[in-house]
Amino acid sequence: MQQIGRKLKQKRESLGMTLVDLENKIKIQRKYIEMIERNDFESLPNPGYTAGFIEKYAKSVNLNADALLKEHADELPQERLSAVDARKQLKNESPVNVKKDDQLIRPLIISLLGLALAISVIWLISSKLLFKSTDDGWVAGDINESRNVKVEAKEEKSKAAAEDKKKEQPKKLEKQKTAVQTSVKYKSFDGAALSYDVSTNDQIDLKVKSDVSTWIQVYDDQNKRYAYQEVKNKTMTIDKNVKTVTLISGNSTALEVFINNQKVDVPKTAENIITRTYQFSIEQTD
């Protein structure tokens, strides 16, 4: 049987989450996360933190924390804190170095602010003394001496605007005649990824919708990332020159996917898969 740390690491990697992503999500330092993944619980600041750390880690990657802790109880330290106590002690930790740095930086910041204020005052006083106004009371004359010139200019602008409007009308009608056409066809499912062929004469809008928060990752064949986060409802506009788009979801049983408002069908063989990978091959038509 795999150790608990190995199970957690494999689940994290299957969701595409890095150690930095997990650190930001569960607020546990990366070095402690690495100790958990190695089953090196004795190296933690207090081995009693182990259960609380593992509970937060498991929930963040959509695993049943209680069942996991019960199954691997013999791997954990004998004396351990509750999950609540572990979280409280973790929040109360504050590195000594940070406090020392704050004590050194604050006087420096105050000194710099005082110096900046003094320079501003000196500059204001100097500018008033050195730069006197040279305004001799010059008044602008009437630029439009003839009212007829002003009226003629307005008439010319009105004619030009009317001509431009006439030219734009055929273009608008042409755009209205060209209807948006998009088709999404299921291609295959190999046990790890669902494949689809997408044909459209318009830009692709990829939408995900879920009743619960779900971790997603979306990127294209140009290595552009559109999402790497927990969402309930999100719409992403894909670049027009893209040929392939990949969507990885961490809780797919609660997730619905749409391409240009068309719901993406999922075969029954994949309905119970928690972590899914959707691959869309896009073809632009005229």
Q: Which domain holds residue 117?
A: 95-127
Q: What single string gives the DSSP state of each residue in 6-19?
A: HHHHHHHHHTT--H
Pairing relationship of beta strands 205-220 and 255-259 according to DSSP bridges: antiparallel
The DSSP annotation for 207-267 comes to EEEEEEEEEEEEEETT--EEEEEEEEEEEEEPPTT--EEEEEES-GGGEEEEETTEEPP--
**Do 188 and 268 lie in a common domain?**
yes
Same domain for 190 and 276, yes or no, is yes
- Please state, as a whole number, how many other Cβ atoms lie within 10 Å of the Cβ of residue 250: 23
Q: Which of 127, 151, 172 is the last residue of a domain?
A: 127
Domain co-membership, 15 together with 69: yes
Q: Does residue 278 share a domain with residue 231?
A: yes
For the record, the structure tokens of 92 come out as 């109360």
Structural domain contains residue 84? yes
Considering the domain boundaries, does residue 177 fall inside one? no
Give residue-wise pLDDT tens across range 150-188.
555 666 777 777 777 777 766 665 555 567 789 999 999
Residue-wise pLDDT tens digits, 193-238: 889 999 999 889 999 998 888 889 899 999 999 998 889 899 999 9
pLDDT at residue 240, as a whole number: 84
Sign of the alpha-carbon dihedral angle for 52, 1, 33, 27? negative
**Count of domains forming the chain:** 3
- Do 99 and 83 sit in the same domain of this protein? no
Query: pLDDT tens digits for 98-123?
Result: 455 556 677 778 888 888 888 988 88
* Statement to judge: residues 46 and 101 lie in one domain: no
Residues 17 and 83 in one domain: yes
pLDDT tens for 65-97 read 999 999 999 998 875 555 556 566 666 654 444
14 and 83 inside one domain = yes
Q: What's the pLDDT score for residue 96?
A: 45
